[in-house]
Copies of this chain bind each other. A is one copy, B any other.
Amino acid sequence: MSLPSPIDKLASALCRLPGIGEKSARRIVFFLLAQPEVFTREFSEAVRTLKERLHPCPECGNFTEDDPCPICTDPLRDRKTLCVVETAEDLVCLEQASVFGGVYHVLGGRVSPLDGEDIDVRVLESLKRRIRDLGVKEVIIATNPCVEGDLTYFAVVDALKGTSARLSRLAYGLPVGGSIGYADRVTLHAALEARQKVAETGS
């Protein structure tokens, strides 16, 4: 049996989204069919206007409605510490964790020779310019903990050669709340390599 075309069309579109398979897509379509008209209308509108209303911040590359974005204009943020991330999604993750009070720079790409991906040279140029203009003291390179992330890290380090800012990167180790029993070999190796000295307690 072929599905009615409106169901089929939407299910196919949903299937292309990350994390949604064929069965989930069908479930979502029938869920939408059971919702009041106002929900599907608002949902459709939210999808339609998403890309129209947002654009990359000319300073950091974060998606924003304003120029520059609220993070770049926030007077309370530390402009001497800059965190380099691969994507705006990574930026949002760090922001929602409330673990960083500096400013960001979104690469909008990564180095992945197998996928033919590379970082836009203009992004690296604007990164260098911002480090100079803001007088950044530390650049934290927060690329993903994988091969492509490592390659991206090295590319950024290479591009920033000669800047006065101190360069650092996120630590590798055991994820908090995880268990050694489930940790993979490479993570265990990294955690051992980066082991930290126990602080001596006063007697």
**Footprint of B on A, CB under 8 Å?**
1, 3-7, 9-10, 13, 16-20, 24, 26-33, 37, 39-51, 53-54, 63-65, 70-71, 87-89, 92, 95-96, 98
Contact = CB atoms under 8 A, between A and B. Distances in A.
Contact of A43 (B18, B39, B41, B47): B47
A44 to B, nearest CB: 4
Given A19-B24, A48-B44, A4 B87 contact: no
A167 B19 CA distance: 40
Contact of A89 (B9, B26, B49): B26
A18 B27 contact: yes
A14 to B, nearest CB: 8
Give the top 7 A-B pairs by smallest Cβ distance, nearest first: A44-B48, A1-B95, A44-B47, A30-B89, A10-B46, A6-B53, A13-B43
A10 B47 contact: yes
Contact of A63 (B4, B18, B43): B4
Contacts of A87: 30
Given A6-B54, A49-B6, A92-B3, A13 B42 contact: yes
A120 to B, nearest CB: 14
